[in-house]
Structure 1
Amino acid sequence: MNHIVTVQDAVTAFADFMEPTAAELDAIELESPLILAEVELLHAQIITLDRTPNELDKRRIRRARNRVLGARRDLINRAADAAGGAA
């Protein structure tokens, strides 16, 4: 008779090594304003999928795009400052 053996121990044995490092968590935190701005832009675009965008929708999308651009600029400038230069 063949016994069925689970591989749960082998799979979860390396769970501690699969967690994000402190550096990865710091990078995520650094990029979070950009991620949130992109989500807001996506939300504004999704709203207009099933209808013709009115003036308010156009303004909402334009402002969301400007927030994304500002967040990207800030992220690049922070990275450049950390590297010793300015963008």
Structure 2
Amino acid sequence: MRHIVAVQAVVTADEIDREPTAAELDAIDREMPVIRAEVELLDAQIIALDRTPTELDARRIRRAHRRVLAARRALANRTAGASLPGGAA
């Protein structure tokens, strides 16, 4: 007796279907302070959208913007320090 079997292509996971790698999760963890600061800035901007911004709204947006810049600077400094062997500039 001869068995008839369907020929199937090798099934591989698409780029969309796969789980993040450990390196990708580490990169997200390193960028999390920047992400949080950007979300806070976005929240402050959304609050001021539907009304005339008050002085308090303007201060909140400025503070959130400074936090974003500080978080980006800290991330850039960590990244630059990590990529140079021996910490030499």
Q: Point out 4+ residue stretches in structure 1 off by more than 2 angstroms.
A: none
Counterpart of 2:49 in structure 1 is 49
Q: Contact between 1:41 and 1:68, CA under 8 Å: does it hold in 2?
A: yes
Number of aligned residue pairs: 75
Matches within 5 A, 1:69-80: 69-80=69-80
Give distance in 1, aligned partners of 2:24 and 2:53.
Answer: 39
Counterpart of 2:22 in structure 1 is 22
Which structure has the larger Rg over C-alpha atoms? 2
Q: What runs of 5+ residues in structure 1 fail to find an aligned partner?
A: 1-9
Find the residue that maps to 2:29 and give its secondary structure.
Answer: helix
Q: Contact between 1:77 and 1:86, CA under 8 Å: does it hold in 2?
A: no
Percent of pairs identical after alignment? 68
Q: Contact between 1:40 and 1:64, CA under 8 Å: does it hold in 2?
A: yes
Find the residue that maps to 1:51 and give its secondary structure.
Answer: coil
Structure with the largest fraction of helix: 1
| Offset from partner CA, 1:43-73 (integer Å, 9 cap, x none) | 0000010111101101100000000000000
Q: What runs of 5+ residues in structure 2 fail to find an aligned partner?
A: 1-10
Give distance in 2, aligned partners of 1:86 and 1:47.
Answer: 44
TM-score of the pair, normalised by structure 1: 0.78
Find the residue that maps to 1:50 and give its secondary structure.
Answer: coil
RMSD of aligned alpha carbons: 2.1
TM-score of the pair, normalised by structure 2: 0.76
